[in-house]
Amino acid sequence: KGTLSDATAERAAAELGLTPAQVRADWDTARLSGLIEVHGDSARPGWRLRVWDRDDTAVLRGWVALFDAWSLAHPAPDDLAPAAVAETVEAMPQVLSLLQLSAGPVPVPQLLDLLDQRVTELRTERCEIADGPEPETPAEAPRDAPLPALLDWALHGLAAVGALTCAEGQATLTPLGSWAVWVKLEQICVAAQSPAGHFEQSAEDMLRGCARLRPNAA
């Protein structure tokens, strides 16, 4: 699975002057960003590491890969329900989009409001998609999930990989984080404008969607 054995982690820690926990964290970061490739029981330098000094695009894409894997690099605490964690991970792109479009610090309460709205939308979409007979005992959504704790975990996870900073009750994308989110938004726009992915939304539907948000989020 690409994890370090205890003996390997301890030997690397002794040689690098780090703790085994730090070695494991750095190893996972390098693996998630494509700097290391694991094949069975062996590892070798990844292609991004081999071109690191001469290909800026590869370096930037490595950061994007790490940002995409933020929830793996910074796992959720055990006391958070897995279903609620999954919803938060799915909802965070919209939160990041707001941070990118704001181009500056955004108060955490505003991000929490948007996260709440997005989680509600995701649950509504799941209810609308159901086909066929309804199950006798439908699974209950984690409606009592502690959204503040989930957002706090997500923001700290994204901060841990360098995508944003948190200070004084506000969150701000780093330059790299802003660029990575812009790349994602650009990819979505390009896909939406292609013949296979073109979509249209009526003005009324868009306005009704914004009406559920507070002014700043809308």
Q: Could you give the dihedral angle defined by the CA atoms of residues 31, 32, 38 and 44, in that order, rounded to the nearest 10 degrees?
A: -40
Give the per-residue pLDDT at 141: 47
Give the per-residue pLDDT at 138: 46
- Distance from C-alpha of 161 to C-alpha of 158, rounded to nearest angstrom: 5
Domain boundaries, the chain: 6-54, 72-211
- Per-residue pLDDT reduced to its tens digit, 62-99: 888 888 888 888 888 888 888 899 999 989 988 998 89
Q: 108-118: buried (b, 16+ CB within 10 Å) or exposed (e) per residue?
A: bebbbbbbebb
pTM of the model: 0.71
- Per-residue pLDDT reduced to its tens digit, 133-187: 555 544 444 445 689 999 999 999 999 888 999 988 999 999 988 888 888 777 7
What average pLDDT does the segment 200-212 reach?
Answer: 66
CATH of domain 72-211: 1.10.10.10
3-state secondary structure of 171: strand
Give the per-residue pLDDT at 112: 93
